[in-house]
Amino acid sequence: MKHCDLVQSGDWKGEKHVPVIEAPAKVKAGERFEVRVSVGKEIPHPNTTEHHIRWIKLSFKPKDDKFPYEVAHFDFCSHGEAVAGANQGPSHCEPFASVQMKVSKPGTLLALSYCNIHGYWESSAELEVE
């Protein structure tokens, strides 16, 4: 089975599992900028013990390079678990994160997320460099 057979994608405005990448469309080479990644921006994703986003990974694939480079990996570990029972815990994470980064050439930002019930989801955003 190939990786592409395991990963789903779609429009995040109509599918609550697709990771959203928020970043400038154009940045200056070597200058810091912020990238925000999330799941459930338009349609909230459940955040329960039984159904949650476990992690989001952000990578950058420079144009004309063969491989992407991992930028950040965000784990969301608290989903209401407790000794008292499912969803009785005092803490819940929401699948939203940000990172500051720099690039030296254009490429593609790639986000991969994992839902404990519905598997892997991906999205991408092009990044221009001036």
Residues catalogued as catalytic: 15-17, 45, 51, 115, 118
β-sheet bridge partners, residue 26: 128
Distance CA 104, CA 112 (A): 23
Task: Select from 37, 39, 95, 40 the least CA-distant residue to 71.
Answer: 37
Q: For the sheet with 19-22, list strands across it.
A: 19-22, 33-39, 96-101
CB 123 within 8 A of CB 16: no
